[in-house]
Amino acid sequence: MGESITIPHYKAMAVPANNGELTEDVRIPIDTLVMGSRTLSIKEFGRGVEFTSLAQDLSVFDPEKACQKALMQQMHHCMDNASASALKSAKVCFIPTGLTSGTWDVDGTPSTVATQNINKSLLGLIRDYMVKDLHIPPYEARHYIGLFSTKALRGLKDDKGLEDWFKYLREGDVLYTGELGRVEMIRLIEVTNESALSNSVGSGGVLGEGIVFGDEALARLEIESPHLLADPNYKRDFGRRKAVAWYGKVAYGTYWDTANDGEAKIIRVCSA
């Protein structure tokens, strides 16, 4: 109970030089499990809209239903923005600077201006860095997840590198909302909310932003899930004024706040 919640996590254990091979008369060696943690602060989120009972009585269209629909859309956008902000706090940044090259920053602040949109070759560099340098486990099965803006995905479509989802999914697999396909074992999902991932960063707005992540990337904590609320007697004016609002108590944050091998789980595709 309190304003913050601590998320524990355990650091990867080193592989012994002999791969754990035992000698008959020697006891099993005991390693130390090292734990880390992240503390996330719970925040309140919400917005509302008011309307009059007269408008509700005289209007052909019920303003309450219109308000609910508009508020639900706003709520989803706000939660997208909050989760994207948390993901973009990750330390490892990749800035495309050529058709087959890019710059890495590992302090959370991109220092180079992007001059190239994302393509298949660049996604290959990202995937290999995640596997060989950071040793990030896949999000599920063998796949990583890539959240990209519409412009970034256009670069991949124009590069003819996008494999259609129905070619790699099997019966019983989950198709994510907005999933367009796969490149380099990264399942790609389109984010159309430009407030979350921009369609125009870098030199001349050449790059669309993106996030690629594996397992244990983002934590979402809920005290009260965002939902709609109705107040039929808003401001206590004998029911003449009404209001609808959405409200929730949630927190978003990365599990790890480092760029260290075995700890960093997220790659940002971005620009200074």
**Cβ count near 25 (within 10 Å):** 5
């609002």: which residue's tokens? 245
CB 114 within 8 A of CB 207: yes
3 state DSSP class of 215: coil
Q: What is the pLDDT of residue 44?
A: 93
Identify the CA nearest to 88 among candidates 266, 260, 261, 250: 266
pLDDT digits (tens, 9 = 90+) for 186-203: 999 999 999 999 999 999
pLDDT number for residue 54? 64
Please give the pLDDT value at position 114: 97
Report which of 169, 86, 161 is spatially closest to residue 126, judged by C-alpha positions: 161
Burial of 6 (0-12, 13-18, 19+ CB in 10 A): exposed
At 2 the pLDDT is 57
Number of Cβ within 10 Å of residue 104's Cβ equals 16
Report pTM.
Answer: 0.85
Backbone angles phi, psi at 43, to 5 degrees: -130, 150
- 175 three-class SS: coil
Q: Write out the DSSP string of 17-75.
A: TTTT---TTSPPP-PPPPEEEEEEE-EEEEEEEEEEHHHHHH-SS-HHHHHHHHHHHHH
Which pLDDT belongs to residue 12?
Answer: 77
CA distances from 150 to 68, 198, 240 (A): 27, 9, 44
pLDDT at position 58, please?
Answer: 61
Cα 35 to Cα 99: distance, rounded to the nearest angstrom: 40
Q: In what order do the strands lie in the sheet with 43-52?
A: 43-52, 241-254, 218-231
What single-letter amino acid sits at 130?
A: M
pLDDT at 88: 96
Which residues of the chain have a pLDDT value below 70? 1-2, 54-62
- Start-to-end CA distance of the chain, whole Å, equals 39
The length of the chain, given as a count of residues: 272
**pLDDT tens digit string along 49-87?**
888 876 666 665 667 788 888 999 999 999 999 999 999
Q: Which residues pair with 148 in a beta bridge?
A: 190, 210
Chain centroid to CA 9: 19
- Topology given in CATH for the domain delimited by 92-217+258-269: hypothetical protein PF0899 fold (3.30.2320)
The pLDDT, as a whole number, for residue 56 is 64
